[in-house]
Homo-oligomer: A and B are copies of this chain.
Amino acid sequence: MKTEYPEINPTERILMGPGPSDVSARVLAALAKPTLGHLDPEYLAVMDDTRSMLQYVFRTTNELTLAMPGTGSAGMEACVANLVEPGDEVVIGVCGYFGARMAEMAERHGATIHRVDVPWGEIIDPAAIGKALADHPATKVVGVVQAETSTGAHQPLEEISRLAHGAGALLLVDAVTSLGCVELRLDDWAIDACYSCTQKGLSSPPGLAPVSFSPAAAEKIWSRKSVIRSWYLDLSLVSKYWSSERVYHHTASSNLGYALYEGLRMVVEEGLEARHARHLYHHRALRAGLEAMGLEYIPDHSLPNLNAIHVAAGADDLVVRKRLLSEYGIEIGAGLGPFAGKAWRIGIMGSSCTQRNVILVLGALESILGDMGVPVPKGAAIAAASEVFASN
């Protein structure tokens, strides 16, 4: 065994991938405050305020709103495992990696899955969901991804919600990459269950998964006939810890809780409308710059906060990403699945969504691509982005 381990000293990155996003000094300072026990009255007060701020960012009055003790994928599995009983029919829209993950989870928890697949990069036509519901009238849950992290596609939800409820089903929404960045209205849009993460739009470190359930979803969970297959993610247990009963379930990480709390405080201070506008505005500048360089977006309906583009013709995917990291400290995302080696995913989320970062990533890409012999019109990207910034 090694016996000498160096002091930890990570390089300060600029996190412009699909997550994590940059964590501000303010949030890092909150993270490192003294650890409290999970039943300390001071920490219980932090939990109550966290729930209140989560209700704000989810735009909901749902009582069953809390942070699960795991990453966004734990939030996904918590929603699926609690909502679905063995034999339940479930319609899931799949237009990328995370829709497919949701379907796989639902299958593990015993559901009968009806997938509505569209090619990666596209969004799902609500009519296709409508057809699946007509074909499978016993469907209990419809699951869709608002922000498909693998393709950058931005799925509208309101028509799908109408169709799901018209068919007597509950609507489950993946908001891992959307919460805090784009509009999301649980109550107005009648979303019954929703999960997200802490490390994208909320710019806190990863490790917790905000979830929220409508009264109808809660009713389905409380009236289950079968015990849920995961003990760790069982809401009938976790919710008792978040309720006034405060029944011990797991040892909550107070430090992660502080960081989420501080990230949420920053969202409350900025205001959701202003925050969404900020993401949209920086996206317009980034998009103008990327397209001026000749780079092409993958999805027709792009998220503002996650920009998935085709790897530049003639460029080596891996070399470009490595140079961005080593020369500029910039992390962008690679392609997943069928897009491996073919896509770049540039995130401007939360604290990473700044004019400085947009101009820097455009300038860095122009420099690296030019150096690799990829034909890039000189100065066009910065000019196009600057025009958007100047017009604001």
A232 touching B70 in the complex, CB below 8 Å, given contacts A10-B36, A31-B32:
yes
Measured in the bound complex, the distance between the Cα atoms of B257 and A256 in whole Å is: 12
B74 touches A251 (CB 8 A): no
Tell yes or no: A9 within 8 A of B by CB: yes
**Can you pick out 23 interface pairs between chain A and chain B where the beta carbons lie within 8 Å of each other?**
A5-B49, A9-B33, A10-B36, A10-B258, A13-B34, A13-B37, A13-B40, A28-B34, A32-B32, A37-B331, A70-B70, A71-B251, A73-B249, A73-B251, A74-B232, A109-B229, A197-B251, A207-B253, A207-B256, A230-B232, A230-B233, A255-B259, A256-B256
Which residues of chain A (199-257) have a CB below 8 Å from chain B? 199, 205-207, 227-233, 248-256
A-side interface residues, number (CB < 8 Å): 81
Measured in the bound complex, the distance between the Cα atoms of B22 and A255 in whole Å is: 12
A69 neighbours in B (Cβ, 8 Å) = 70-71, 74, 207
A35 touching B11 in the complex, CB below 8 Å, given contacts A251-B72, A256-B256:
no
Seed contacts A15-B35, A29-B32, A40-B331; 4 additional CB < 8 Å A-B pairs: A10-B40, A11-B34, A13-B36, A22-B35
- What's the nearest-Cβ distance from chain B to residue A180, in Å? 15
Tell yes or no: A327 within 8 A of B by CB: no
Nearest B residue to A230 via CB reads: B230
Tell yes or no: A23 within 8 A of B by CB: yes
A46 neighbours in B (Cβ, 8 Å) = 8, 10
A248 neighbours in B (Cβ, 8 Å) = 336
A8 touches B261 (CB 8 A): yes
Tell yes or no: A122 within 8 A of B by CB: no
Tell yes or no: A268 within 8 A of B by CB: yes
Binding site for B on A (CB under 8 A): 1-3, 5, 8-13, 15, 17, 19-20, 22-23, 28-38, 40-43, 46, 49, 52-53, 55-56, 69-74, 77, 81, 101, 104-105, 108-109, 197, 199, 205-207, 227-233, 248-256, 258-259, 261-262, 264-265, 268, 325, 331, 336
Measured in the bound complex, the distance between the Cα atoms of B81 and A352 in whole Å is: 38
A15 neighbours in B (Cβ, 8 Å) = 35, 37
A331 neighbours in B (Cβ, 8 Å) = 37, 40
Nearest B residue to A21 via CB reads: B35
- What's the nearest-Cβ distance from chain B to residue A58, in Å? 11
A109 neighbours in B (Cβ, 8 Å) = 229
A42 touches B77 (CB 8 A): no
A36 neighbours in B (Cβ, 8 Å) = 10-11, 13
- What's the nearest-Cβ distance from chain B to residue A2, in Å? 5
Measured in the bound complex, the distance between the Cα atoms of B258 and A268 in whole Å is: 29
A227 neighbours in B (Cβ, 8 Å) = 108
A71 neighbours in B (Cβ, 8 Å) = 69, 250-253
A81 neighbours in B (Cβ, 8 Å) = 230
